[in-house]
Amino acid sequence: MTTESPRWFTSSYSDNGGNCVEVATNLAATHGVVPVRDSKDRRAGQLNLTPAAFTGLIDLARNGCAGA
């Protein structure tokens, strides 16, 4: 069990528009997890993605399609 806390980050591209997620990449190297949560409902929980899954999510958001 870790005592290290996630350092949550919201992208500057979110422009406070509402449909945003927060990520905590500080745990990727040491714990192999990238927590992701809704910025409007932080108490709803979080998804704990592997670094590879997080990279895939970012690629999907950038390119708009899954798979190659």
Coil, strand or helix: which one is 48?
strand
Angstrom distance (rounded) from CA 64 to CA 56: 11
What are the C-alpha distances in Å from 47 to residues 15, 27, 68? 23, 13, 24
The tokens describing 36, both together, are: 């992701």
Model-level pTM? Answer: 0.77
> 11-68: per-residue pLDDT in tens?
777 666 677 889 999 999 999 999 999 988 889 999 999 999 999 988 988 888 765 5
Check if the beta carbon of residue 52 is closer than 8 Å to that of residue 43: no
